Amino acid sequence: MLKTLGAHIKEYKKPSIMTPIFMLGEVLMEMIIPLMMASIIDNGVEAGNMLHIYVMGGLMLLAGCFSLTFGIMGGKYGAMASAGFAKNLRKAMFDNIQTFSF
């Protein structure tokens, strides 16, 4: 079944591969942010180190921007892959139906 459906991906292989890669990037960035927050609390607030708080806060903003970018790109490539797959599947079904006798 998957082999039959996979044959209809054709020219949409790149978006089909890029979607999970961008999703992984987004998840990794989302998982790094709480670790940075813990570092701010442990090494910045308790020690009174304002420089550490500013640096980690900036890195958290950067991680958030990367997460946003990865999420947008994952959505874009996911939409391209799913719409292309549906187009190819509809065409294959139409071609198959045209072979039926009247």
Confidence of residue 57 (pLDDT cuts 50, 70, 90): very high
Tokens of 98: 């045209």
Q: Which residue has the higher pLDDT, 10 or 92?
A: 92
Three-class SS of 26-60:
HHHHHHHHHHHHHHHHHHHHCCCCHHHHHHHHHHH
pLDDT at 100: 93
Average pLDDT score, the chain = 93
pLDDT at 65: 97
Of the candidates 20, 38, 25, the residue with the CA atom closest to the CA atom of residue 64: 25
Global model pTM greater than 0.85: no
